[in-house]
Amino acid sequence: MSEEGASDTATKDDEKTGVDRVAPTHVETAEAEPTQDGAALPADETTEGGSDATVDTTEGALAPPSSDLDTPDPEALADPPDDVAAQRGGGGYAPSAPVITDVKPVRVDGGGGAQITVFGAGFVPGCRVYVGSEELIGEVVDAFTLRFVAPALVGVQELAIESPSGKRSPAVQLHFVEGPVVTRAVPAEGPTEGGVEVILEGRNFTEGCTVSLFGTHAPEVVFDSSQRIRFTLPPAGSGPLEGTLTVVTFEGLIGRADEVFRYRPLMPEIAEVEPRSGWVSGGKLVSLRGKDFHPKARVTLGGQAAVVLFRDAKQVDVEVPATETLGPVDVVLTNPDGRVAQVPAGFSYEAVPAPPKIIDVFPKSGLTTGGLTVRIVGDNFTEAVRVLIGDVTAMRRVVSAKLIDADVPPRQIPGLVAIELRLDDLQIRSEDAFTYESPSAPKITGLEPRSGPTGGGTKVVIEGESFPKAATVRFGGEACKSVAVKGPNRIEVVTPPLRSAGMVDVEVTSTETGPGVAPKAFRYEAMAAPVITSVSPARGTVDGGTELTVEGKNFVEGCVVLVGGAQVKTKRISGSVLEAYTPEGADGKLVDVAVRNPDGQAGFQKRAFQYDARYRS
């Protein structure tokens, strides 16, 4: 056999065994020479003595036995050579078992599909990949790099690489976690020309995550929280209008969501223009309401561009441009993609009216508490005129083109203030037109009647000056529950009950004015003590709740019934009839029933009620 043929045969044998050959000391070969008996002796066959001698075909004599260095030691194949480049060249050594030095990424999307790259040594074609109990197909890039696609798993799983000979690497851990999840997009639709902000809501978002729209658009993402990210929608261009929205974290975890967002061409419509008229001088703010307005929409009135303030997809506000032509004009809104919404004659230009004027104001002064109505006399008043008193907007009623009534707003500091009329951009101001005055304390000049029972309930009319609207009235220090301020000079009240008789002070006060006091202005007269003539029924359940009717006299407003010394719920029917409900009691117990008026006087009926277990509530 020729040298070239021998070399080819050896190479094929090596490929079958998978073992790298180590070159022998003598590489020259020659044809076998005949032995003494005439048979040919192969060059690699031993002699009869069984020695390891080989035939030196060049000299025709046996070569000395080969040393250990001439034949590779199988154990030595497990150790890589010093020269790492030899392994890459295919003529070096490979480890007996694969070795994993690094894995990227270590945190893997539990939904599967992520590409995992394994770094190490000893990776050869035919290596098998094991993740947990899953056997996978791996792509051997070279002896040091291997790739595979992760399956769908949960939790911590062990990764190992097994060589074709069955030797397995030490295991390393992969962490299968939930990737980003998109639950909804706000809005769920966007214009094909882009430009609107889209908010994605969900969970597991991270700083540095990216978004892919339908595999063709990658907008810049703003991270708000782990549950919210947002981006400005790019134009759709010639790409798809719907599909899968993908979020990828910086770790490579992937979240996919179908049908949460799509492009939709905006078809703008104007349903309302408000107001529909303005002056030729321009400057009026007009609202357009409808649908599918783009943030970058343009608006023209009569062909003239207006300043646009985008509110949302259903409303834009525009500042009316000035013109020299009176009459109606078309209102046109144009989206960036050229789609148009139009209202023919949707706005009308009007001549600038004569400005309103202030001639006089009366009265010219009032309290800082406000509430006074002033009349403004002037000209050219319309419903569009606003009134400000002391730079505060006042409620107003346009009586005619020459008269306006306005309610003076409250003010903390007294003094002179201006009255101003505003009509769009026009301002007509009258300085020092009204004077705020500090309110004086209320003054009581008379009461009618001037006396009443200690039980209260007497209706009294109080007359005086400077009574505030939110007045509080007290008799003998006790506040009246019923107070009606009829005006700054008259108040109607109902007297509260008082324990003792005698002359008492009457006070009218408020937080703005302070108190006004009439000393010893009302006399409380003692009442006769209440008298009980009958109590029915005389027996009732031990559980309580028996309705009693108490009859007698001198029962005043605010009186209470006591059963066995315990105050009970009482309803006053009249000055002679009361209704009350008994408390719980012991079987057979006889108790007193009493009525006590607010002045402390009381009437009793001894042993008037007995508890009886035979009665049921």
Task: Round to whole Å and give the CA distance between 143 and 86.
Answer: 11
Examine the pLDDT at 93 and tell me if it is beyond 80. Answer: no
What is the pLDDT, as a whole number, of residue 72?
A: 42
Fold of 357-437: Immunoglobulin-like (2.60.40)
- Which of 418 and 27 is assigned the larger pLDDT? 418
Contact 523, 450 (CB under 8 A): yes
Task: Round to whole Å and give the CA distance between 218 and 210.
Answer: 7
Examine the pLDDT at 86 and tell me if it is beyond 80. Answer: no
Q: Which residues have CB under 8 Å from 412's CB, separation 6+?
A: 368
Encode pLDDT of 391-420 as tens digits: 999 999 999 999 999 999 999 888 999 999
Q: Are strands 172-177 and 107-109 parallel, antiparallel or unpaired?
A: parallel
- 49: DSSP letter: T
- Categorize the per-residue pLDDT at 617 as very low, low, confident or very high, splitting at 50, 70 and 90: low
Contact 506, 450 (CB under 8 A): no
Asked: is 531-611 a CATH 2.60.40.10 domain? The reply is yes
The first and second tokens of residue 419, run together, are: 């009255």
Q: Are strands 502-509 and 490-494 parallel, antiparallel or unpaired?
A: unpaired
Q: Give the C-alpha distances (Å, rounded to integers) separating 565 from 213, 436, 549, 594, 604.
A: 82, 59, 17, 8, 10
- Which of 437 and 304 is assigned the larger pLDDT? 304
Examine the pLDDT at 176 and tell me if it is beyond 80. Answer: yes
Task: Round to whole Å and give the CA distance between 386 and 426.
Answer: 10
Asked: is 181-263 a CATH 2.60.40.10 domain? The reply is yes
Q: Of 424, 479, 437, 436, whose CA–CA distance to 456 is shortest?
A: 479
Task: Round to whole Å and give the CA distance between 176 and 103.
Answer: 13
For the segment 31-45, the average pLDDT, to the nearest whole number, is 42
Going from N- to C-terminal start, the domains of the chain cover 1-72, 99-177, 181-263, 269-350, 357-437, 443-525, 531-611
Examine the pLDDT at 31 and tell me if it is beyond 90. Answer: no
What number does CATH give the domain 99-177?
2.60.40.10
CATH architecture of 443-525: Sandwich (2.60)
What is the model's pTM? Answer: 0.40
The first and second tokens of residue 543, run together, are: 């559980």
Q: Of 589, 578, 570, 522, whose CA–CA distance to 554 is shortest?
A: 578
Encode pLDDT of 199-248 as tens digits: 999 999 999 999 999 988 889 999 999 999 999 999 888 888 889 999 99
Contact 395, 389 (CB under 8 A): no
Question: In percent, how much of the chain has pLDDT > 70?
Answer: 84
Task: Round to whole Å and give the CA distance between 223 and 207.
Answer: 6
Contact 438, 366 (CB under 8 A): no
Contact 481, 458 (CB under 8 A): no
Q: Of 134, 138, 133, whose CA–CA distance to 123 is shortest?
A: 138
Dump strand ranges (E) for 408-542: 415-423, 426-437, 443-448, 451-453, 459-465, 472-475, 478-479, 482-487, 490-494, 502-509, 516-525, 531-536, 539-540
- Which of 433 and 237 is assigned the larger pLDDT? 433
Fold of 269-350: Immunoglobulin-like (2.60.40)
Task: Round to whole Å and give the CA distance between 102 and 90.
Answer: 23
Q: Give the C-alpha distances (Å, rounded to integers) separating 36 from 40, 271, 440, 569.
A: 9, 118, 152, 143
Encode pLDDT of 574-601 as tens digits: 889 999 999 999 999 999 999 998 878 8
What is the pLDDT, as a whole number, of residue 521?
A: 95
Q: Which residues have CB under 8 Å from 133's CB, separation 6+?
A: none
Task: Round to whole Å and give the CA distance between 568 and 10.
Answer: 118
Encode pLDDT of 464-515 as tens digits: 988 888 899 999 999 998 999 998 899 999 999 888 889 999 999 987 777 8
Same fold across 99-177 and 181-263: yes
